[in-house]
Structure 1
Amino acid sequence: MIDILTNVDRRARAEDFDAMHLLRGRVFKDRLGWEVDCRDGRERDAFDDLDPTYLLAFGPTGAVAGSWRLLPTTGPYMMKDTEAFHPLLKDGEAPRRPRLWEASRFAVDMGSGSDGGLAAVGQITAELFHGLVEHCMAEGIEEILTVYDRRIARLLPRVGCHPLWTVGPMPIGGVPTHAGLFDAGPAMLAAIREATGISGSVVGHAPWRKGQAA
């Protein structure tokens, strides 16, 4: 199940937020070796202070097992405001549209599938993609822009996600890196469902869930 949170939820969901930052530290610093800022094993950057939206996935044991971060392109966001990513900008310009958001810091803990093996890890990944599109459709977000590495590029076809356009791979920080623009509407949701076998909602808590049944 996916919970969709903002910084407003940090106090009430402090343990889950802490687990998310620890997860990001394990994935980006320890496993992938990225040059990221980690303190006490927790990865966090300046974009976490800009009131992003977070998707948190929970594994078989109930622990945070995956996450994603969303920022609107009408304000600061990683691809626009991180100089290293500028070569990935299509036509050299950073998009800025109300219905286009950036997804970043995608992380899934390989250890989270210990009770269910790789199938559990695959299910967590599938639910994160499905939950992302569910959220976008509920909030009127039509497109997602994201920077991703080779591991995600290989994963995308398996979950039914095909970019509207893509740039790269280009070496950024020693990592072959892509950028892509993705539809976030009903056609994408249908493609994810066909590829993953998910048939219903995967979202539990969300701001737009108020007054709805999960």
Structure 2
Amino acid sequence: MIKVFTFSERMKNYRTYENMVRARADVFHTRMHWDVKVEHEREEDEYDRQYNPLYIVVERPDGSHATSIRLLPTTGPTMLRNVFHRFFPNCPDIYGANIWEVTRYCATYRKGDPASYTGELFVKLSEICLDAGIDIVTGVFFKPMYRILMRSGWDPIPVTTSEWDGKPIVLGTFEMSEPRMHDIAHRYALAA
């Protein structure tokens, strides 16, 4: 099941939201050792609390978290502008009414999970963006994520690269289009 809601709507989606922020704590803090603040086994930051982002969450049939992402308009505060700029000092400010920032991609795969959870997330992201007139999303990701994105059909266009804690990171943009959405759906054998 896919759920789409904003931070201000989180109480209507309480269990989904709580599962997501707990998954983020587990993945980003415990597994990946990112410098994120975790309280009560939850990872939630000012971009959640202050800027009312949009979330897309894919759940397993039992209601547990499978994958999720967070979206913010680039016309307001973004992680690229306020946090990641220090890694990309010569990077242009990427913003516009037609551009959203994607952050906090989180996957909590279990043995036996279908690969289609990622496909469902990316197809829903494409649908939402196309409906809202968004034709570009931008995000920062570790180099290994590049392979996942390429396999999914969501090919990023690298803008610049840097390093974080000795690991290569990439700032990329992604085209949102009907053909791209259908390609992703085809790769995951999903209807679009």
Q: Is the shorter-chain TM-score for this pair beyond 0.5, marking a shared fold?
A: yes
Aligned to 1:102: 101
Q: CA deviation at 1:58?
A: 0.4
2:136 to 137, 143, 146: 143
- Alpha-carbon RMSD across the aligned residues, in angstroms, is 1.7
8 Å contact from structure 1 (residues 57, 66) kept in 2:
yes
2:117 — aligned with what? 124
CA contact 1:126–1:159 (8 Å) conserved in 2: yes
Higher relative contact order (CA 8 A, sep 6+): 1
- Report the more deviating stretch, 72-81 or 186-195: 186-195
**CA offset at residue 105 of structure 1?**
0.1
1:33-52 aligned at under 5 Å gives the runs 33-49=33-49, 50-52=51-53
Counterpart contact for 1:86–1:92, Cα < 8 Å: no
Identity, in percent, stands at 28
Name whichever of 25-34 and 157-166 sits farther off.
157-166
Give the aligned residue type for 1:195: R
Is the 2:122–2:184 contact (alpha carbons within 8 Å) kept by the matching residues of 1?
yes
- Deviations along 1:112-166, one digit per CA (max 9) or x if unpaired, are x34xx1x42x221111111111110111111100101133111011111112344
SS, match of residue 180 in structure 1: strand
How far, CA to CA, are the matches of 2:35 and 2:119 in structure 1?
27
Determine the structure 2 residue equivalent to 1:56. 57
| Unpaired runs of at least 5, structure 1 | 201-214
**Structure 2 CA distance for aligned equivalents of residues 88 and 134 of structure 1:** 30
CA contact (8 A) 1:68 1:107 kept: yes
Q: Kindly provide the CA deviation profile for residues 75-129 of structure 1, in whole angstroms up to 9, marking residues without a partner as x.
A: 00000111x444437x52211200100000000102xx34xx1x42x22111111
CA contact (8 A) 1:88 1:178 kept: no
1 CA distance for matches of 2:125 and 2:137?
9
Q: Is this contact kept in 2: 1:85–1:172, CA < 8 A?
A: no
Partner in structure 2 of residue 212 of structure 1:
none
Amino acid at match of 1:20: M
Residues in 2 aligned to 1:53 and 1:102: alpha-carbon distance in whole angstroms: 10
User: Does the 8 A contact of 2:127 with 2:181 survive in 1?
Assistant: yes
Extract unaligned runs of 5+ from structure 2: none
CA contact (8 A) 1:3 1:56 kept: yes
Query: TM-score by structure 1 length?
Result: 0.83
Label 1:39 to 1:175 Cα distance change in 2 as closer, same or farther (>3 A).
farther
Cα offset for 1:193? 2.0
For the pair 1:183 / 2:175, whether they are aligned, the reply is: yes
Distance in 2, matches of 1:8 and 1:29, equals 25
Higher deviation after alignment, 136-145 or 58-67: 58-67
Aligned with 2:52: secondary structure? coil
Q: Secondary structure at the match of 2:147?
A: helix
Residue 160 (structure 1) aligned to one of 153, 160, 163: 153
* Conservation of the 8 A alpha-carbon contact between 1:54 and 1:69: yes
